[in-house]
Structure 1
């Protein structure tokens, strides 16, 4: 059962047709400061993460070499020159952008007004998570830190360099959240370790592997977490919030989110949408070691032409799958990446991968063969691909590690490392919010 209760207040945090997502406010309140209980507003912030789940999954895997679209114009996800990817604004980029900025506004209200240190810490985590996701998808982003932004304030509309957003907003929010939150995960809410793990991921995204290793190592060594014995147990809907989950966006068929399209992320990977009946690429399937249990979660219907779907998420339980934003295997693999980039020995780095590999039937990697920093780097990237497949991470991993061209097998203009800003946002601000180059 889902333990984060979604208040009706969430449905009231909507925006009018002529407003940018940065300027929405609770339409049933004269002022956010007139509230004296901010639990509902905080739950609204959690709720709005739901609307970004499916779009993140599609962007992270269908833009990469893991999955592909079959039906035009969705095939634009696989085209990196003269792309018309903007045509998918309504289904993908607009919901992602809108829901995360709604989460940010709700978080701002709690941060400004709540007298509960725990509520404020959770809100700071959710605001940081939202900006982190927005930066991954769009690069430079607009920043609003106010609970009641003015529609005439163009300063909050101008896109800020992503490095500044990380330094001035995301990192301070996560540091404050770590100080305010408990080490114990309660009812799936944000914890100190969720904030610390995300901080490690942020530092890795910035290329600051020294700080990344410090924070990721602390989370990887925490007694609260452990790898599940079976890979499939991590994603079993009867085993939600298991020992491997550090933070997940909780979903339920009884909670309707604001992503209005019928196909949710399990359906996209399971071939439940005609835009991609067989989404798994042949190259990805063939890249697996034949003895890797994770390969068994791909159903091959035809060898020629190759047609395959992923069974990582059951289609019969699709609405019940939580979206796991951060789990222990992700942290361990990113820790290995950080340690390798910091000059750690190949043996000390590859040892981190052994538990992840052994539970899917693979032997430890041969340290005498994979010994150079570049060879270890490639081994970690491959392991992240297999382990985190269809969790919305692959494309962003390629961009972070500078591996887009080598892994995708083509020269791709860096303009297309990010996605197009919704045109509706650009129009709503009379061009103050600008479009990404190439779109």
Structure 2
């Protein structure tokens, strides 16, 4: 069993009320009488498992890296109200799991006197809310371990900006201050919090605030034992869990049964689910073709796509139930850092130079600032690099949305309503309509 799930036992927060937001966890001991919060903190980590596959599917199958075969699942490639059919398998478990993680984190934050535990809990609460706003937009904010079960006003969804400004950014700022740079047993660290904070600012378009945080991770990585793997393939697969490139991952173990009861991310990308036996999108093949147009071989290609099976071998099926899900790795942070440099007015030489390590590992020459010599060209080059580097890691759709390039890249005009997913109808009904549905659904 992975280390962070030890001691879950009887302290695992079991939630059973009608609504996932207004419940008091029925622990064996009440929260104000607990003195050892290890089990509750591990529960906050554990509940992230339920978010993994929905994020993976949304990130690649909603975009142009992968596609579904069997109805109604091709709704992920249609930008209309059909996506509501995906509640039971994707958005419902995702929503429930993250609010349970938040509830567990709230218990730590309110009651623990251990600064490191509180820092980890704030990181996990911020990560949960970041995922929620990326997928749903406005969401309910709950910062209490024991929210009122009679005050329905707490169920009113709050604007995205308020979730970022009042929860995600303050929580990550506190986590940066509380945590050490050393990664212990795969748990949250200072650089996990700082890297995620930089990513949050990039998502918000605040590149000035993002740059120092991303620079701190890039420049401090080596001293913390964080480095790019020499071989791209060595990032992925059961035997490579918690390798030096991984800044934070949700740990997965076949011996720990989580709430997600359907095919997991490695099955979807590998074409093992009958709903998507040929998941590889021709658009991603074309992107690798373009990468190799100069006659070089992109070493990421064979790791990422298999044109014979039209699937992705990135997370090998052998040992599938043991693969950790990578939430943040150094290459992601490096790419974000290059993006911030470009958006903040640095030269093409400086911004593109940040990518040299990633390009060299891929067997490709450095990008040439003599020809990629405008901010727009550098921006496109970085986004192209992100797609190839991070394909099938749940990033592509969210990159398209945050950069405003979904229409151009997907070749269609998308109603802005469908840039977010439908709120689970079960939550709308359980709240008697206090939790509202997203427009268009």
Query: Is 1:147 aligned with 2:145?
Result: yes
Query: Is 1:300 aligned with 2:300?
Result: no
Alpha-carbon separation, structure 2, partners of 1:50 and 1:134? 14
1:293 counterpart SS class:
coil
Structure 1 counterpart of 2:163: 165
2:326 counterpart SS class:
strand
Deviation at 1:243, TM superposition (A): 1.2
1:381 counterpart SS class:
helix
Structure 2 counterpart of 1:304: none
1:246 counterpart SS class:
strand
Deviation at 1:14, TM superposition (A): 2.1
Structure 1 counterpart of 2:34: 35
Q: Is the 8 A contact 1:9 1:44 kept in 2?
A: no
Q: Is the 8 A contact 1:24 1:102 kept in 2?
A: no
Deviation at 1:43, TM superposition (A): 0.4
Structure 1 counterpart of 2:204: 206
Deviation at 1:183, TM superposition (A): 1.2
1:25 counterpart SS class:
coil
Q: Is the 8 A contact 2:60 2:391 kept in 1?
A: yes
Which has the larger displacement, 422-431 or 25-34? Answer: 25-34
1:204 counterpart SS class:
helix
Alpha-carbon separation, structure 2, partners of 1:283 and 1:203? 29
Alpha-carbon separation, structure 1, partners of 2:431 and 2:117? 32
Alpha-carbon separation, structure 1, partners of 2:90 and 2:387? 23
Deviation at 1:10, TM superposition (A): 5.5
1:155 counterpart SS class:
helix
Structure 2 counterpart of 1:50: 49
1:7-46 matched pairs, under 5 angstroms: 7-9=8-10, 11-16=12-17, 18=18, 20-29=19-28, 31-46=30-45
1:315 counterpart SS class:
coil
Query: Is 1:253 aligned with 2:259?
Result: no
Deviation at 1:12, TM superposition (A): 4.2
Q: Cα 1:23–1:279, aligned 2, differ >3 Å: closer, same or farther?
A: same
1:388-427 matched pairs, under 5 angstroms: 388-427=390-429
Alpha-carbon separation, structure 2, partners of 1:132 and 1:153? 25
Alpha-carbon separation, structure 2, partners of 1:299 and 1:192? 37
Unaligned runs of 5+ in 2: none
Deviation at 1:317, TM superposition (A): 1.1
Alpha-carbon separation, structure 2, partners of 1:422 and 1:256? 23
Unaligned runs of 5+ in 1: 302-306
Deviation at 1:254, TM superposition (A): 1.2
Q: Is the 8 A contact 2:229 2:244 kept in 1?
A: yes
Q: Cα 1:10–1:398, aligned 2, differ >3 Å: closer, same or farther?
A: farther
Q: Cα 1:10–1:60, aligned 2, differ >3 Å: closer, same or farther?
A: farther
Q: 2:89 aligns with which of 88, 91, 100?
A: 91
Structure 1 counterpart of 2:111: 113
Q: Is the 8 A contact 2:417 2:440 kept in 1?
A: yes
Alpha-carbon separation, structure 2, partners of 1:350 and 1:264? 36
Alpha-carbon separation, structure 2, partners of 1:367 and 1:100? 42
Query: Is 1:283 aligned with 2:289?
Result: no
Deviation at 1:249, TM superposition (A): 0.5
Alpha-carbon separation, structure 1, partners of 2:257 and 2:171? 29
Deviation at 1:242, TM superposition (A): 1.3
Q: Is the 8 A contact 2:12 2:40 kept in 1?
A: no
Query: Is 1:430 aligned with 2:432?
Result: yes
Deviation at 1:30, TM superposition (A): 6.2
Alpha-carbon separation, structure 1, partners of 2:287 and 2:203? 26
Q: Is the 8 A contact 1:9 1:41 kept in 2?
A: no
Alpha-carbon separation, structure 2, partners of 1:149 and 1:280? 44
Alpha-carbon separation, structure 1, partners of 2:283 and 2:37? 49
1:71-106: per-residue Cα shift (whole Å, max 9, x none)?
Answer: 00001110113x311111000000110000000000
Deviation at 1:15, TM superposition (A): 2.3
Query: Is 1:66 aligned with 2:65?
Result: yes
1:203-231: per-residue Cα shift (whole Å, max 9, x none)?
Answer: 11111100111100100111222110000
Q: Is the 8 A contact 2:25 2:146 kept in 1?
A: no
Alpha-carbon separation, structure 1, partners of 2:353 and 2:400? 23
TM-score in terms of structure 2 length: 0.95
Alpha-carbon separation, structure 2, partners of 1:232 and 1:256? 27
Deviation at 1:24, TM superposition (A): 2.5
2:3 counterpart SS class:
coil
